[in-house]
Chain A
Amino acid sequence: MLEISNISYCYSHAEKPALAGVSLSAGRGQILGLLGPNGAGKTTLISHLSGMLSVQQGSISIDGQPLAVIRRNTPARIAVAPQEYAFYPMLTVKENLECFASAGGLGGSRKRQRMADCMAFAQLERFARTRAERLSGGLKRRLNLAIALLPEPEVILLDEPTVGVDPQSRAFLLDAVKMLANNGATMIYTSHYMEEIEAIADRVVIIDGGKVLREGTLNELLTEGMAHVRLAVDGVAAVQLKAVLGNFGTAEAAGDEWWVMLDPGQMPTALLAAVEKAGGKVRQAEFGRNNLEQLFMALTHHSLRD
């Protein structure tokens, strides 16, 4: 069980902290989707877990053991597949695996076995003798993942693992992530692709400005009082209509349409009745629940790809 408790971090000469009291947890076999716009604090968080930054305030533990102790004694329990192609382009696939397997403390028959397993898992056997720089984007991502899996880590951090890959490779990588979680690994997955998070994450954490804005299961987040009504109304002045809609939640005009985020307990039928009572004629209405992207935008006021 990965437990991050109230960590804060401020870079030297920075005006604002990159992380401010972040707490989250992820159990074995669980995929934690980490969402945040650029500059939200994701990289700082991942850098803590990968040992690149030491904790200034708060604590991080795995199975009750402090992260610093784990990093000192068994650093290979946590693996990072960074967004960059973190391997040697001039080496072949096999040579890269060999290099990082040795760096991770593997040797002898165990090293050979893990290299073979990871190559098979990432379906890279055919490319064993190919220089990494000559691989396609998708194959490079697979190699990045295969290297991360060499020491059989318990916690795996995947930072934007599907950037720049074709749909087949993306599907392969998402299946691989699910398979790793099913085998008991704790997965932390950051992505800008909302549909990926919706497809694989058991829990989602949305961070921005160094703070956790929401954390929960996907279902919890999507049902969290975020029903909305989108409607177009004729026959009522905008000021009067805004006042009517404001009784049911947060109303915003978008062109000639209105967007109302319903407060908890408010029903769309009552809203429509109130509009008609005020003399309005509903030309178009749509009721629904927020998807993750809408929730994200509502919370952060950013697009994910900002």
Chain B
Amino acid sequence: MLPALIKKELLALIRDVHGLAALFLMPALFIIIMSLALKDVYSPAIKSLPYVVDNRDSGQLALTLLAEWEKRHGKPQASSPQTGSAGWVDEVRNGKLGYALVIEKDFSRTLATSQLADTIQVRLITDPGQEAGIFAANKAELVMIATEMRAQALLAAARMASRPAGADAGESMKEPDLAVAVSAQKLVEAERLAAGPRPTAVQQNVPAWLVFGMFFVVASLANLFLQERQCGALARLASLGVPTSMMIWSKALPYLAINGLQAALMLAVGVWLMPLLGGDALSLAGIHWGALLLVLLAVSMAAIGLALALASLVRTHAQASAVGPTINILMAAIGGVMVPKFVMPDFMQRLAEFSPMNWGLEGMLAVLLRGSDLAGVLQPTAKLMGFATVMIIIAVLFFRRRVS
């Protein structure tokens, strides 16, 4: 009896293609995607971050520092030695450049003087969303290079001062001046390019999982649609003359409201609940609310569009239950929801740009971390709206066929 029942179970399993895909294909894909995404976690891509140099100093020491930095971090994307910061600010703010290395005009002179002035001479201005580890490592490296250069400069000056013409080196050696500070730390400053909140786990996770959650309407909408379709209720509505467009809107609008509620709830959790649990609070101070609403609307439209297209394409509940969540999880894994995009290697970061969840996440991070306004979120929202349009066209094309 047992063998017969086991055989039945295996046959049922083998014939459930979607179940098998969920059992075998999804974990395999996950291993591939997550391994590739986390490839550089233990060797961060500090060295490969794109950067720009803004050198306002004409002295030799500035060039030496830049040469040393270039040796360690590769060539800069661009240099703007005379025009000041205007050219790179936007690119650093929106994350296209990792940071800007700004050398003030008195750097060379100040570095070699025995008494350090309190004026900052080297600035590391970073992407507002730059991960704390990379931020700290770059700053420490910059301080270290500047200090080394200062030490060499002071040493050279001391040698020159202690070696008058014709004097014996051994006789003229003086005691070192212990009051001279060797460290160049006072000259170096690192800052994120925004007045907004600094990146924290909450600041990264709330937008990421909010986008993920909003896309989860896919399974719910698709299953309800299938239920209506299979029982003939949709055919009945069609026979009563209800237009296809109205049927689609009647599905889209409630889920738009649900996505809105999800957003309000998730943001509230970040703002009020997380501090109560001992975590960082999500900061919404100074954000552009219009931009936030635009991004949320675009994410919602994309999620609903995908849900409608999927609902129109699948034939069974099994398909909807397997395909919807699988697409969501893969989009999340690729798109920077599960693993922040900045820790991914280059090619995975490029791949992430194909995930609608990444467009939504980039839009949210632009608002919440970079303080972007409507113009600043135009690109991700345009992508999301375009995706939503394509999905809705697919849904309309297949909807009527499925209804009948």
- Contact between A103 and B240 (Cβ–Cβ < 8 Å)? yes
In the bound complex, do residue B231 and residue A50 qualify as a contact, i.e. CB atoms below 8 Å apart?
Answer: no
Specify the main secondary structure of chain B where it touches its partner: helix
Give the chain A neighbours of B237 by CB distance below 8 A.
Answer: 100, 103
Q: Which B residues touch A147, using CB under 8 A?
A: 236
Task: Report the minimal beta-carbon distance from B223 to chain A, rounded to whole angstroms.
Answer: 12
CB < 8 Å: which of B227, B236, B404 contacts A47? B404
- How far is the CB of B298 from the nearest CB of chain A, in Å? 31
What are the residues of chain A within 8 A of B240 when measuring CB–CB?
Answer: 75-76, 100, 103-105, 151
CB-CB nearest in chain B for A96: B233
Cross-chain contact of B404 among A53, A78, A85, A86 (Cβ < 8 A): A53
Q: Which of B232-252 contact A (CB under 8 A)?
A: 232-233, 235-242
User: Is B90 at the interface (CB under 8 A from chain A)?
Assistant: no
Selected from A71, A80, A89, the residue in CB contact (under 8 A) with B236 is A80
Chain A residues whose CB sits within 8 angstroms of the CB of B230 once the complex forms? 84
Check: A258 CB closer than 8 A to any chain B CB. no
Q: Which residues of A have CB within 8 Å of B238?
A: 51-52
- Size bin of chain B's contact surface: 10 to 19
Q: Which of A76, A84, A85, A105 neighbours the largest number of chain B CB atoms within 10 Å of its CB?
A: A84
Contact A86 B241 (CB under 8 A): no
Alpha-carbon gap, A240 to B241, bound state (A): 65
1/0 contact trace for A66-92 toward B, CB 8 Å? 000001000110111010111111000
Interface size band for A: 20 to 34
B:201-248 near A, CB below 8 Å: 227-228, 230-233, 235-242
Determine if A51 and B239 form an interchain contact, defined as CB atoms under 8 angstroms apart: yes
> Which B residue's beta carbon lies closest to that of A91?
B233
**Closest CB-CB distance, A180 to chain B, in whole Å?**
18
Report how far A87 CA is from B235 CA in the complex, Å: 10
Inter-subunit contact A86/B242 (CB<8 Å): no
Contacts A47-B404, A52-B404, A86-B233 hold; do A80 and B239 have CB atoms under 8 A apart?
A: yes
Chain B residue, CB-CB nearest to A77? B241
Residues of A in contact with B (beta carbons under 8 Å apart) = 47, 50-53, 71, 75-76, 78-80, 82, 84-89, 100, 103-105, 147, 151
Q: Which 7 A-B pairs have the closest CB atoms?
A: A75-B241, A86-B232, A52-B404, A84-B232, A50-B239, A86-B236, A82-B232
Given contacts A51-B239, A103-B237, 8 further A-B contacts (CB under 8 A): A50-B239, A52-B235, A52-B404, A79-B239, A86-B233, A88-B228, A89-B227, A151-B240
